[in-house]
Amino acid sequence: MSSLRLHDSLRRTKVPFEPMVPGKVGMYVCGPTPYAPAHIGHAYSAIAFDTIRRALTFLGYEVRYVRNVTDVDDKIIKRAHETGEDPVALAARFTTAYNEDMARFAVQPPTVEPKVSTHIAEIVAIVEKLVAAGKAYALDDGVYYSVDSFPAYGQLSGVTRDELREGARVEVDSKKRDPADFALWKTAKPGEPSWDSPWGKGRPGWHIECSAMTTTHLGPTFDLHGGGKDLIFPHHENEIAQSQGAYGEGTFARYWLHNGFLNFEGEKMAKSVGNVFGCDQIADAVGGEALRFFCVSHHYRSPVEFTTQAVPGPDGKPVMRFYSLEAADRRLAYFYETLARIDAFTSAKSGGDGGDGAVLPETEILLTAAVAALSDDFNSPVVMADLGEAARIANKLLDEGKGIDKGVRRRSLARLGRDLRTVGVALGILGSAPADFLAARRARQVKSLGIDTAQVAALMVERTTARAAKDFARADAIRGELAALGVELLDTPGGTDWRVLEASS
Ligand SMILES: [Zn+2]
């Protein structure tokens, strides 16, 4: 077991991680409120915590990962009224779509995915506990948490009591004892989904679900709690107040992890700015793995700059260019091309992997380096640099390794190929067969550049015929014609193939 250190938002510093049970981690992350298709911001957060979960697994921990679905919420109810659907059914539909979208970015399903609508009894039980302890009180319109009953309020966010009172929205006619008190249970309004409770028909407030779900699936105290930075206040602050109010001081999350924001050329993501890109739009443009690759190239706590521009497409209509992701896609292609070369070189047909025995020292350090970097607050950018170095060494060995002992060279390349993939799993990248990735990438490029593949095929046949007839002038001319179409020929041992010429940007 590694000695993992992580940045705990509560202690505001990097601390050694000591799980409650050695070798096991209970981890909770606040999940989606599904009322519309998922966008790049959802994907970014899901990827960040999926990478942390994968990294923990890679470091040898057995991870129980709970990510909830808020399927009872004002926004869902509003949307359901617009579409005429049942709110819980609408949320279920968008939850399925969310999980399909996240799968495009190699986000693994959580161990448990609890929903509010199936945890009402657990939510009611914790609210009852808080009322009985005098930490919450019932009014006509619901049950409220008394912030005054929890002196430690503000410990995570640093928000003071005065700031809290000043910032609280003053609600007209509210009978709340303090403007800062927040709803645990809301009395049913006509046309809203509702459930029976000791306070009449109603539905949960937003924050209480996470206190109920963590207790149900991880116990009153558990190891890691994660979410976006925007959730620190009030959501996570309220979660702490609720859970410690119900189960006592020192309970609930033992470490807090928060991920940074995605910025678009200095702007935050916002519908008004027009940069709320759908997951399908991203995956169609550059492939899901490019976004994953881009995300893990940055540290999860750092704000990330994302560059885009609308430019005229082949048919004159504007097309969104995702420059950051296109760069990630090119780099990813380099890794897959490297893996394809290693596979071809070490296949049984071309001489094998060299069996057991010594390898070059520089080819056996990747795993150890990845363990060290991921043990340092999940430092994925350092791992990405290590992967880049391993790929560089592999290509050098393939290009210039003739002077090296045959067995050592084969074993070294096989080792690099295996370790590149193993470390790739820890980050959620390089999981495809290289031929599949490269074919899908070419299909996307062909589509976006409007390349006529039938014309390419015809020119290639003509070139083969010309070469067979020793008409090399014509064969060369055809190579030039293909280049003008944006196509580059590749003469490989298996015959002639082609790829799309990389844009210079
Ligand atoms: Zn939550």
pLDDT digits (tens, 9 = 90+) for 336-364: 999 999 999 999 988 999 999 999 999 99
- CA-based max dimension of the chain: 94
Cα of 32 from ligand 1 centre, angstroms: 10
Torsion of the alpha carbons at 49, 51, 53 and 59, rounded to the nearest 10: -150
114 near 217, Cβ under 8 Å? Answer: yes
How far apart are the CA of 414 and the centre of ligand 1, in A?
44
Length of the chain (residues): 505
pLDDT value, residue 410: 97
Provide the Cα torsion 288, 294, 295, 299; round to 10°: 160
* Ligand 1 mean position, distance from CA 490 (Å): 52
Two structure tokens written together for 412:
């070294």
Could you tell me which residues come within 8 angstroms of residue 284 by beta carbon, excluding any fewer than 6 positions away?
A: 444
Rounded distance from Cα 54 to ligand 1 centre (Å): 21
Beta-carbon neighbour count of residue 45 at 10 Å? 28
Rounded Cα–Cα distance for residues 2 and 17 (Å): 10
How many whole angstroms from 30 Cα to the centroid of ligand 1?
4
For the chain, list residues with pLDDT below 70: 1-2, 168-173, 266, 503-505
Q: What do you get for the CA distance between the two ends of the chain, in Å? A: 43
Instruction: Report the 10 Å Cβ neighbour count for 272.
Output: 7
Cα(246) to centroid(ligand 1), Å: 16
CA of 442 to the centre of ligand 1 (A): 41
Helix (H) or strand (E) holding 404: none
- Rounded to whole angstroms, how far apart are CA atoms 242 and 128? 11
CA–CA separation, 413 and 416 (whole Å): 5
Q: Are 335 and 440 in contact (CB under 8 A)?
A: no
| Alpha carbon distance 254, 19 (integer Å) | 9
Yes or no: say if 430 and 442 are a contact pair by the CB < 8 Å rule.
Answer: no
Residue 96 Cα, ligand 1 centroid: separation in angstroms? 20
Q: Which segments within 283-352 are labelled E, that is strand?
A: 304-306, 308-312, 318-322
Angle at alpha carbon of residue 226, lines to 204 and 284, rounded to 5°:
95
CATH 1.10.730 in the chain, residues?
263-437
376 CA distance to ligand 1 centroid (A)?
26
Residues 6+ apart with CB under 8 A from 490: 496, 497, 498, 499
pLDDT at residue 490, rounded to an integer: 87
Q: How many CB atoms lie within 10 A of CB 477?
A: 15
Question: 12 C-alpha to center of ligand 1: Å?
Answer: 20
In one-letter notation, the amino acid at residue 169 is: R
Beta bridge partners of 256: 225
State the pairing for strand pair 252-259/221-228.
parallel
Which among 12, 5, 18 has a CA at the least distance from the CA of 155? Answer: 12
Q: Which fold has domain 263-437?
A: Isoleucyl-tRNA Synthetase; Domain 1 (1.10.730)
Distance from the CA of 315 to the center of ligand 1, in angstroms? 45
69 alpha carbon – ligand 1 mean position (Å): 10
Task: State whether residue 7 is helix, strand or coil.
Answer: strand
- Numbered ranges of CATH 3.40.50.620 in the chain: 5-259
Structure confidence at residue 505 (pLDDT): 46
Distance 233 CA to ligand 1 centre (A): 11
Q: How far is 275 from 29, CA to CA, in rounded Å?
A: 25
Ligand 1 geometric centre to CA of 73 (Å)? 13
Give the span between the Cα atoms of 415 and 396, in whole angstroms: 15
- Who's near 47: CB < 8 A, 6+ residues apart? 105, 107, 291, 292, 295, 296, 428
The alpha carbon of 307 and the centre of ligand 1 are apart by a number of angstroms equal to 30
Q: How far is the CA of 361 from the centre of ligand 1 (A)?
A: 46
Cβ-contact 328, 292 below 8 angstroms = no
Q: How many C-beta atoms surround the C-beta of residue 455 within 10 A?
A: 13
Q: Check residue 316 and report its DSSP letter.
A: S
> What's the gap in Å between 227 CA and the centre of ligand 1?
8
Structure tokens at 443: 């299909």
d(CA 412, CA 184): 60
CA 302 to ligand 1 center in whole angstroms: 21
> 275 C-alpha to center of ligand 1: Å?
25
Do 380 and 55 touch, CB atoms closer than 8 A? Answer: yes
Amino acid at the residue 294: F
Per-residue HEC secondary structure of 477-492 comes to: HHHHHHHHCCEEEEEE
Q: Which of 246, 258, 326, 266 is nearest to 291 (CA)?
A: 326
Angle between helices 40-58 and 406-427 (to 10 degrees): 130
| 29 CA to centre of ligand 1 in angstroms | 7
CA of 362 to the centre of ligand 1 (A): 44
Quick one: which of 33, 99, 41, 31 has its CA closest to 65?
31
Contact 150, 245 (CB under 8 A): yes
Question: Would you state the pLDDT for residue 160?
Answer: 86
One-letter amino acid for residue 220 of the chain: P
Question: Which fold is adopted by the domain 5-259?
Answer: Rossmann fold (3.40.50)
